[in-house]
Structure 1
Amino acid sequence: MTSVQLPKKDKYVIGYSQSNNAEPYRAQLNTQLEYYVKQHPNLQLLPIADAAQDSARQVSQVQQFIQQKVDVLIVSPNESDPLTPPVEQACAAKIPVIVLDRSVNTDCISAFIGGDNVAIGKAAGDLAVKLLPQGGNVVELRGIMSNQPQIDRDKGFRDAIAANPNIKIVKDQDAKWLKEDATKVMQQWLQSGTKIDLVYAHNDPMALGAYLAASGANKQNDIKFIGIDGLAIPDGGIRAVENGQLAGTFVYPTGAKEAVDTVMNMVDGKEFSSKQVLPTTAVTKDNAAKVYAEYDFSNK
């Protein structure tokens, strides 16, 4: 446990640097962060800075928040290495930093909040083993190669499928977390004649992009699709499981509520955990409707 006492004032200004607003998961994170901040009249969230998957832009945006002397800085790094120096600059300026989802290479931050991506990858691998009892060919759609969640989701999955040596990963490629990129990659794999029994994608948009490509080739019923994110939005992973497009997904919590709770602990001088690992929920056809209702923010 740790504690940070912010100076007493009427309004505390939060700067949030988001890695890429275009990803549905990150758009949902933004929505939730705005919602939870509004529950506290003494908190003000500045307009969210969108790095649009450009680390140099994100470095500049973080430095701008430092110059504005925000009271708390929240960062979802596009990549760990480039974001480490500006985060250290914020620490040197005595601005508490909360890092969401992807780590940075410094211990100066006040809190890290994120899911256990190795555990989520392992759960996806366990599902793949269940779906392919006789073994089969798996293709893997990765996020961005330098992102820690991508590295961890790959490791957990590979560790789990090792339980069945007849399951082989025959292709894997970076699709930048994006549905459109995943559709193109999957189209190329199908056109090359690669036999595919299961697609493991590191997020739901890539899984659905692969499903779209398989659909175009009339092979959607021959292939199983697994994603990660489990967003409660109309075109998200939970609905896709309900509709039978995905065999399963895993809720990757945004950490928005925990981030705001941590800021309030700083305001009140209360202790909080400097590393907050959030649990996942496996989404199947049996529980999809219930999980959707639990995480739906559309009416808030």
Structure 2
Amino acid sequence: MRSLIRPLVAVVAVVTLAAGCASKAPSASGGSGAGGKKQFVVGYSQSNNAEPYRAQLNLQLEYFMKQHPDMKLLPIADAHQSSATQVSQVQNFIQQKVDVLIVSPNEPAPLTAAVQQACQAKIPVIILDRSVNTDCYTSFIGGDNYEIGKLAGQEAVKQLPNGGNVVELRGIMSDQPQIDRDKGFRDAVKANPKIKIVADREAKWLKDSAVPIMQQWLSKYPKIDLVYGHNDPMTLGAYLAAKAQHRESQIKFIGIDGLAIPDGGIRAVQLGELTSTFVYPTCAKEAADTAYAIAHGQQVGKKQVLHTTQVTKENAAQLYKQYDMSGKISG
């Protein structure tokens, strides 16, 4: 089993934005900070703070933004997995005339018009993790979800050399990461025709949603060999359901996120709850640095694709130490 996955190539291409898109440094609307220097105001609309990955992203973004004294991050707006709420939040940030807007879209289509409104208002927009149906933004930052799904599928093929029954817990069906993680996985498991995906359901990225779904599957299918979850919380929800029926030892569990937190995916691999997971970068440092660059008139990549690393029993301890930011954040 490979312990480290070849990094995905970071795409940092400088692109001239279409007319009407915000591509130049904004004026400082935040007033003066310490020492009389101008402060640039950043607004961030998060899709759902209840997801551990996004809660960690928030904490890291606050930390990394503080490394730039002339950048002011407003209180993070939580959309609570409601696209209507998030549209309202984005429009509110536009009315406040923030200097840079960061959005982690709950769903692509509903947020598209709101992002275009920001663009028309000459507010630079950074899109994190999930796409929108417009090119009128300044920079997209995220991982290659198709590639991560493909790597998860390749791991499934390794874990099930003789084939077997797989169940798949999916994120929000309209989200591009869900679409890509599903397609990558399915393309990869075609390498072994004896692997059958017998069931898949939307669990909306949430552990609490995954538990009852897995309970139903355990009742319906006497033989489940592997669970593929589009994130670690859903996969761990499936693990808990299987453990309650004393079937966890018969099943392999593969997730995505790989957070270095006590109840995250890396620790779950160490504990033997997950067979493997894949680190999906929070994008927090890149978002803070990109916001700073935009505010100071520097050119940034239109698309920034971050690499992933596979977490296995062999490298989990080392990766936990590498990605753990608890000391910095709490300090």
TM-score range, shorter chain: over 0.9
Q: Does 1:234 align with 2:262?
A: yes
In structure 1, what is the equivalent of residue 308 of structure 2?
Answer: 280
Which of 24, 35, 42 pairs up with 1:4?
24
After superposition, what is the alpha-carbon deviation per residue over 1:49-77, rounded to whole angstroms, capped at 9, x for unaligned? 00000000000010000001100000000
Distance in 2 (CA, whole Å) between partners of 1:110 and 1:166 is: 45
Residue aligned with 2:150, SS? helix
Distance in 2 (CA, whole Å) between partners of 1:38 and 1:217 is: 47
Distance in 1 (CA, whole Å) between partners of 2:284 and 2:67 is: 13
Distance in 1 (CA, whole Å) between partners of 2:264 and 2:221 is: 29
How far 1:269 sits from its partner (Å)?
2.0
Which of 73, 82, 87 pairs up with 1:59?
87
Distance in 2 (CA, whole Å) between partners of 1:90 and 1:7 is: 15
Q: Does 1:134 align with 2:162?
A: yes
Which of 120, 126, 135 pairs up with 2:148?
120
Distance in 2 (CA, whole Å) between partners of 1:292 and 1:54 is: 32
- Count matched residues: 300
**Letter paired with 1:77:** P
Which of 42, 59, 66 pairs up with 1:31?
59
Alignment of 1:161-200 (within 5 A): 161-200=189-228
Residue pair 2:203, 2:210 contacting (<8 A) in 1 also? yes
Distance in 2 (CA, whole Å) between partners of 1:126 and 1:197 is: 15
After superposition, what is the alpha-carbon deviation per residue over 1:72-130, rounded to whole angstroms, capped at 9, x for unaligned? 00000000000000100000110000000001011110000000000000000000000
In structure 2, what is the equivalent of residue 249 of structure 1?
Answer: 277
Which of 95, 98, 119 pairs up with 1:91?
119
How far 1:4 sits from its partner (Å)?
2.9
How far 1:194 sits from its partner (Å)?
4.0
Distance in 1 (CA, whole Å) between partners of 2:144 and 2:222 is: 32
In structure 2, what is the equivalent of residue 159 of structure 1?
Answer: 187
Distance in 2 (CA, whole Å) between partners of 1:45 and 1:11 is: 10
How far 1:238 sits from its partner (Å)?
0.2
Distance in 2 (CA, whole Å) between partners of 1:151 and 1:122 is: 12
Q: Does 1:297 align with 2:329?
A: no
Which shows bigger deviation, 107-116 or 6-15? 6-15
After superposition, what is the alpha-carbon deviation per residue over 1:18-44, rounded to whole angstroms, capped at 9, x for unaligned? 000000000000011000001111000
Q: In structure 2, list runs of 5 or more residues that go unmatched.
A: 1-13, 16-22, 29-36
**TM score, norm. by length of structure 1:** 0.98
Residue pair 2:61, 2:288 contacting (<8 A) in 1 also? yes
Which of 92, 104, 112 pairs up with 1:76?
104
How far 1:7 sits from its partner (Å)?
3.1
Distance in 2 (CA, whole Å) between partners of 1:106 and 1:213 is: 40
Distance in 1 (CA, whole Å) between partners of 2:192 and 2:72 is: 51
Which shows bigger deviation, 70-79 or 252-261? 252-261
Distance in 2 (CA, whole Å) between partners of 1:266 and 1:28 is: 24
Q: In structure 1, list runs of 5 or more residues that go unmatched.
A: none
**Letter paired with 1:4:** K
Distance in 2 (CA, whole Å) between partners of 1:236 and 1:100 is: 21
Distance in 1 (CA, whole Å) between partners of 2:221 and 2:162 is: 21
Residue pair 2:26, 2:123 contacting (<8 A) in 1 also? no
How far 1:270 sits from its partner (Å)?
2.0
How far 1:264 sits from its partner (Å)?
1.6
How far 1:265 sits from its partner (Å)?
1.3
After superposition, what is the alpha-carbon deviation per residue over 1:195-234, rounded to whole angstroms, capped at 9, x for unaligned? 2000000000001000000000000000000000000000
Residue aligned with 2:102, SS? strand
In structure 1, what is the equivalent of residue 50 of structure 2?
Answer: 22
